Structure 1
């Protein structure tokens, strides 16, 4: 399974990751959402290099232009609610793709332990299509595993690109061990070493859903 970490190379991408992490810039939810969206656009551009292309003829006002264009069907899928700005960025570039949304969240017990609850999935058929499965944070990897298995109820994808802005080393290893290697590529913005006692990524960026859309009850 290939893991591509875009933040390992110096580019403007690192500026957006830095702003996503910055506790002072995080005070502006609009800026936080926009940075997630911009990161999604860069991920989309990089993923596009891995797609199948075929030659197409384009008629211009002055003649014919032969151009290689993506030839695969794409489904952009994200985990609610934190995944929405990242989803928008991916969709800005893959603007002809179909879309899927998965409801998965942490349900905490009184002792502070949690399990991942799955409620529903809204998705077209993914049979034979390229799925881009996005969530801003890849902490333990459990939510991503659940989302991946939920997508399989809608068919067998040709290939799955897993996208996360910030992940933990533990989460990446979990996905590599739990999911098949032959048809999955992982795309990360940055990979941090640690998880704290509540399984939040350290240094990470905090709760992406709350930073984007406000604090929630429960």
Structure 2
């Protein structure tokens, strides 16, 4: 498993505003959207391409295009939906699947309650969107779900991550697994409730309100 922590002043600037408890939901959604586009640029450095011949107004040349099968973007419901627009803005030809997972706040275990994905993901590159990599249980379960359907390369994009979550991912998938985590920051730790510290609170609630 590989970890990439984005190192850019714009990422830090947007994260600071996202962390601020005074930031309202409309502003939070806009900032999250902007931040995801920055992280998606880093996450897609290894997206698969193939050569293609074109003709410019001057002469024929060879460029590249995304290869088939197309990449699959998978937001984890519900908070991952707040990251979807920013991702597909950068990768508009990707297909989109949905994975509904919920974490039990007492046991911290993740369970799947909804799926909208192809049955066969053989040869697919997948990009999982999950704002907070806290305990790692939800993300590890999501990534394994995609591998079980045949995906051979999975990149997770997270606004924030905790060391405990990174350790869980490494323990689950090992050093050589085709898994990459791209995050805006690696925070200090988890608190007794399983929240990232200093973090930004519950991303789903801050995106969409408490429901």
Distance in 2 between residues matched to 1:3 and 1:40, nearest whole Å: 16
Provide, for residues 101-126 of structure 1, a one-character-per-residue CA deviation record: whole Å limited to 9, x for no partner: 11111234xxx444323212111232
How well do the aligned residues superpose, as a CA RMSD in angstroms?
1.7
Distance in 2 between residues matched to 1:62 and 1:43, nearest whole Å: 35
Question: Is residue 193 from structure 1 mapped to residue 195 from structure 2 by the alignment?
Answer: no
Contact in 2 for aligned 1:121/1:150 (Cα 8 Å): no
Query: Of residues 119, 125, 128 in structure 1, which corresponds to 2:123?
Result: 128
Other-structure match for 2:14: 16
Other-structure match for 1:169: 163
Provide, for residues 32-90 of structure 1, a one-character-per-residue CA deviation record: whole Å limited to 9, x for no partner: 11111112211221122212332222233444342233325200011101001212211
Pick closer, same or farther for the CA change 1:187–1:213 going to 2, 3 Å. same
Contact in 2 for aligned 1:138/1:172 (Cα 8 Å): yes
* Superposed counterparts of 1:143-182, under 5 Å: 143-153=138-148, 155-180=149-174, 181-182=176-177
Q: Which stretches of structure 1, 4 residues or more, deviate above 4 A after TM superposition?
A: none
What number of residue pairs does the alignment pair up?
208
Provide, for residues 193-215 of structure 1, a one-character-per-residue CA deviation record: whole Å limited to 9, x for no partner: 21111101010000000000010
Q: Name the structure with the higher strand share.
A: 1
Other-structure match for 1:47: 43
TM-score under structure 1 length normalisation: 0.88
* Superposed counterparts of 1:14-163, under 5 Å: 14-25=12-23, 27=24, 29-72=25-68, 73-108=70-105, 112-124=106-118, 125-153=120-148, 155-163=149-157
Contact in 2 for aligned 1:163/1:187 (Cα 8 Å): yes
* SS of alignment partner, residue 83 of structure 1: helix
Distance in 2 between residues matched to 1:82 and 1:133, nearest whole Å: 12
Pick closer, same or farther for the CA change 1:114–1:66 going to 2, 3 Å. closer
Pick closer, same or farther for the CA change 1:129–1:198 going to 2, 3 Å. same
Structure 2: unaligned runs, 5 residues or longer: none
